[in-house]
Amino acid sequence: MRKIDSYDKDFLISILREMNFIRRFEEKAGQMYGLKKIGGFCHLYNGQEAVAIGAVKALDMKTDYILTGYRDHGHALAVGMDPNAIMAELYGKSTGVSRGKGGSMHMFDVEKHMLGGNGIVGGQIPVAGGVALMQAYKGTGGATLVFFGDGAIHQGSFHETLNLAKIWNLPVVFICENNQYGMGTSYDRVSSVTDYSIMGNSYGIPSWQVDGMDVIAVYEELGKAVKQAKEQALPAFIEIQTYRYKGHSMSDPAKYRSKEDLEAYKQKDPILGLKARMLDAGLITDEQFKEWDKEDKKRVQDAIEFADKSPEPPLSDMYEDILA
């Protein structure tokens, strides 16, 4: 665990609270799925909160962009997208971020530079390369972060884009959120190497592993990668080792792994870990945290009420948003 003593208290509180909010949001999303208010595939982010929050904190979202895969609620919340509109999207309502056309896997907020939310494993990786190409072409000074899971690591899209990013000097940071299971398959059963960070070497791209249960580690290491991308036009590839507490999606009971493994990871919980360090340092009290948690639960409840009350889209909506 990285030290926190060099950090501003308010900054640490914001990280802690934003991670906690994602956790509370996802717990409620899971419940609403159980009540059939949310359908389809619903990939929850519980356990991985430090990745999205640590990474986004290292960015300037005025010039930087992020793209991700289908497990995207956490990234959407991390960039500050409206939780009401995210919940409404999960409900398929017209007030949702994508007017009810995208659902769980397709959270977009162009103004906030969140470009999805992609349902095809690895499909977003070349697209992110293109966003970085625009940044290089126009000299915007920003970088693009693209998140994908360990399942995407063997896709051609990953390898092709790493190569393109290096030969074209694109300011892109590739982030593998290795939560150890591509759906129900343990990553070490389907990977010729288990230290993914060596894969970047094939393309001359600096690559390294980061502890994804430690939000400060993610923040610090992403900061280095983003700086390198912006200042040297040098891409980076980071394997962030994390763990998902739930199944692949809500339809997956996750019987392929042991309770002991899950419990071991919960001992390293990113939210409780940061909270403990902040308590130790006397930066917060338990009472404060409980109060914040109560506020977070209330905000999630508000999102549920917003989604519940939102109207179904009119049928004529099906013909819209197809061509510009």
Residues lying near another protein in the complex (CB under 8 A) are found at 65, 67, 96-102, 106, 108-110, 115-120, 123-134, 137-138, 156-157, 160-161, 163-164, 167-168, 320-324
Rounded least distance, CB 159 to another protein, Å: 8
Rounded least distance, CB 22 to another protein, Å: 21
Task: Give me the phi and psi of 282, to 5 degrees please.
Answer: 70, 25
Q: Please name which of 218, 264, 242, 270 lies closest in space to residue 20, comparing C-alpha atoms.
A: 270
* The residue type at 192: S
Token look-up 């072409």 returns: 137
CA angle 47, 237, 209 (to 5 degrees): 55
Rounded least distance, CB 277 to another protein, Å: 38
Q: Which is nearer to another protein, 35 or 322 (CB)?
A: 322
Q: Which is nearer to another protein, 35 or 323 (CB)?
A: 323
Phi-psi region of 118 (alpha: psi -120 to 50; beta: other; left: phi over 0): beta
Beta bridge pairs of residue 81: none
CA angle 77, 81, 82 (to 5 degrees): 105
Q: Which is nearer to another protein, 48 or 157 (CB)?
A: 157
Rounded least distance, CB 115 to another protein, Å: 7
Q: Which is nearer to another protein, 88 or 213 (CB)?
A: 88
Rounded least distance, CB 270 to another protein, Å: 29
Q: Which is nearer to another protein, 35 or 315 (CB)?
A: 315
Rounded least distance, CB 164 to another protein, Å: 5
* The residue type at 274: L
* The residue type at 273: G
Q: How many CB atoms lie within 10 A of CB 178?
A: 26
| Contact (CB, 8 A) for 60 and 86 | no
Q: Which is nearer to another protein, 203 or 243 (CB)?
A: 203
Give the number of residues written for the chain: 324
Rounded least distance, CB 148 to another protein, Å: 13
Q: 101-121: buried (b, 16+ CB within 10 Å) or exposed (e) per residue? A: bbbbbbbbbeebbbbbbbbeb
Q: Which is nearer to another protein, 26 or 109 (CB)?
A: 109
| Contact (CB, 8 A) for 118 and 69 | yes
